[in-house]
Amino acid sequence: MPLPGHRNEGWHAPVRRVVFTAVVLAFAALATPAPSAGKDPTASSREAMVRTQIEARGIRDQAVLQAMRQVPRHRFVPEARGKEAYGDHPLPIGLGQTISQPYIVALMTELLALEEDHKLFELGTGSGYQAAVASRIAARVFTVEIYEQLAASAAARLRDLGYENVAVRNGDGYSGWPEEAPFDAIVVTAAADHIPPPLLEQLKPGGRMVIPLGNPFFVQQLVLVTKDAEGRIEETPVIPVRFVPLLGH
């Protein structure tokens, strides 16, 4: 009679092979990406943001919708607020400043009617998010931020994310960026009680400016300012908004 060990040996060899194979397969499964793992997990949050907050409110410009889908908004908010990045609201970015609500960024970008050869000036870099979105459509974006700390962190963030067509400068954006003027489009992302004359001067004939105008400490109107070929200015109020006040000058 064979020793129990021998019989066991006979039984266990195939079982061991099966177990071994299963373990190898399990490791292979861990190493091989699942079908969805190659995708950016935040892409679905952005898709939902675009559908429910932006398209649903009437934004139709495909280039704008595409840019809003692409730019990783969660990288532009403080890490601790990452989970709220795709919510339907502004968020604090430090120094009492905010990153605008996604819909407002989309609306402003649509109103600018950017084209791929356009040069845009932005007053109020903040997190750099609006600049990043616009940079997916326009050729070059020049943005000025009055707080050195915000300008430095936005510049580093934009560089890390590879947005090479955005130039960030620390200073008072009230005087624009004369060396790069004139601009096809200008966006002001802080509330002003008047249109800064240097910005109006730096807007090309045929150009468009979007600016929150009104009481900087209360509610403003988002205004589309156009300059026609003869230099005539027209102002069209769009919707009531609340921006942080324009500082300096």
Smallest gap from residue 94 Cβ to ligand SAH (A): 9
Among candidate residues 47, 145, 39, 151, the one with its CA nearest the CA of residue 102: 47
By annotation, the residues acting in catalysis are 100
Q: Which is nearer to ligand SAH, 26 or 95 (CB)?
A: 95
Find the binder of ligand SAH among 86, 174, 177, 183 (CB under 6 A).
Answer: 174
Helices (H), 91-229: 102-112, 129-135, 148-160, 197-201
- Binders of ligand SAH among residues 16 to 75 (CB under 6 A) are none
Cβ contact 71:65 at 8 Å: no
- What is the DSSP-derived secondary structure letter of residue 20? H
Find the binder of ligand SAH among 146, 185, 222, 225 (CB under 6 A).
Answer: 146
Smallest gap from residue 236 Cβ to ligand SAH (A): 21
Smallest gap from residue 198 Cβ to ligand SAH (A): 11
Find the binder of ligand SAH among 100, 153, 202, 220 (CB under 6 A).
Answer: 100
Find the binder of ligand SAH among 53, 98, 153, 220 (CB under 6 A).
Answer: 98
Find the binder of ligand SAH among 173, 176, 207, 212 (CB under 6 A).
Answer: 173
Cβ contact 156:130 at 8 Å: no
Q: Which stretch binds ligand SAH (CB under 6 A): 11-19, 21-29, 122-130, 211-219?
A: 122-130
C-alpha distances in Å from residue 210, one per residue of 71, 123, 184? 21, 11, 12
Three-class SS state of 225: strand
- Binders of ligand SAH among residues 176 to 235 (CB under 6 A) are 189-190
Three-class SS state of 232: coil
Read off the tokens for 120: 């845009």
Q: Which is nearer to ligand SAH, 96 or 206 (CB)?
A: 96
Read off the tokens for 159: 């560089």
Among candidate residues 93, 14, 112, 103, the one with its CA nearest the CA of residue 65: 103
The contact set with ligand SAH (CB under 6 A) reads 97-100, 123-124, 126-127, 129-130, 144-147, 150, 172-174, 189-190, 244, 246-249
